Amino acid sequence: MSETGWAIALHGGAGVMRRETMDAAREAEVRAGLAAALAAGREVLDAGGSSLDAVQATVCSLEDNPCFNAGHGSVMTSDGTFELEAAIMRGSDLAAGGVINVSHIRNPVSLARYILDHSEHVVFAGAGAERYAAGAGFELISSGYFETEMRRAQFNATRASGAVTLDHDGKRYGTVGAVARDRAGSLAAATSTGGLNNKAPGRVGDSGIIGGGTYANDKSCAVSATGRGEAFMRMTVARDIAAMIEYGGVALADAVERKVMTELPVINGRGGVIALTRTGAPVLQFNTPGMYRAAQCEGEAAQVAVFAL
């Protein structure tokens, strides 16, 4: 890691994935998706682009990949519908954008980015978000685009039991997010999700909430979270990690360890975070058996991992 170089990290969700039970072909597929998403962000940073553009490119790549619970391949509500959420934040000036419960936006992170760039507001939800998007020139697509055979089967299996699950506990891949630092030293974070499998319609998670699942401040760190959103919101996880650094002088690794390994489990907050220090050192931690993740710092090799090391 260099003080002036770029850095990027991403996640594709945390949950119960075990080396013993994971199908090799599936693992190869998800690793390829993580590597491709990392490359999308890396290309932006390597060309001298901004961390904000990099996290958007990485998250768009993961949204487009049906393996992950965001965009195409999102999980369903208990009505069998799709309600997607995303947020993006720039650390240099705390500019932020978020979307909650949208059903007709192909890349929710791009709408969040548009809000960051163009609106005096920060978060838009539901029909109002889609009206705003249409006015801005976004295509409103049929929500059938989000559905995959795998998600339909997962939903049918869960619906019978009535459980509301983190999708990766149902064996599959999850919510996505990215954090980056550019050569100019600015941080950014972005997160996108279909939420929890079989969730109640109207339910809101942490991913689209600034300070819940997404936060970036050049003075402290960039954070993107994945896990049971209820717990992550109650503990304002992403903002709390930044606050420990800003007000308490705590090191990022210690702040993440405390939040993810000590505090979240007390309220059944299963999941993890990816984060970068101001200088671009990655911290990737989770309290579940695995978290789909990848990271790279300028001049170093890319790291892609699934299980606990």
Catalytic residues: 175
Across the strands, what pairs with 15?
290
Q: Residue 207 interacts with ligand ASP (CB under 6 A)?
A: yes
Q: Which of 206, 235, 277, 296 binds ligand ASP (CB under 6 A)?
A: 206
Q: Which of 77, 103, 175, 192 binds ligand ASP (CB under 6 A)?
A: 175
**Cα 64 from Cα 119, distance rounded (Å):** 25
Convert residues 42-81 into a mask of x (bound to ligand ASP by CB under 6 A) and - (unbound): ---------------------------x------------
- Kindly tell me the burial class for residue 199, based on how many C-beta atoms sit within 10 Å of its own C-beta (0-12, 13-18, 19 or more): buried
Q: At closest approach, how far in Å is the CB of 222 from ligand ASP?
A: 17
CB atoms within 10 A of CB 142: 9
37 vs 281, beta carbon nearer ligand ASP: 37
Contact 113, 97 (CB under 8 A): yes
- Which amino acid is it at 236? T
Convert residues 261-280 into a mask of x (bound to ligand ASP by CB under 6 A) and - (unbound): ----------x---------
Question: What ranges in 48-107 are assigned the alpha helix state H?
Answer: 51-64
Convert residues 214-233 into a mask of x (bound to ligand ASP by CB under 6 A) and - (unbound): ------------xxxx----
Q: Residue 98 interacts with ligand ASP (CB under 6 A)?
A: no
Q: At closest approach, how far in Å is the CB of 82 from ligand ASP?
A: 13
Return the residues of window 240-259 that contact ligand ASP according to CB under 6 A.
none
In the block, residue with structure tokens 């972005």: 190
Across the strands, what pairs with 221?
217, 277
Q: At closest approach, how far in Å is the CB of 272 from ligand ASP?
A: 9
Q: At closest approach, how far in Å is the CB of 204 from ligand ASP?
A: 8
For residue 291, give the DSSP letter: E
**Cα 66 from Cα 90, distance rounded (Å):** 27
The two three-digit tokens of residue 77, written as one number: 């509500």
**Cα 44 from Cα 70, distance rounded (Å):** 21
Binding site for ligand ASP (CB under 6 A): 13, 69, 166-167, 174-175, 193, 195-196, 205-207, 213, 226-229, 271
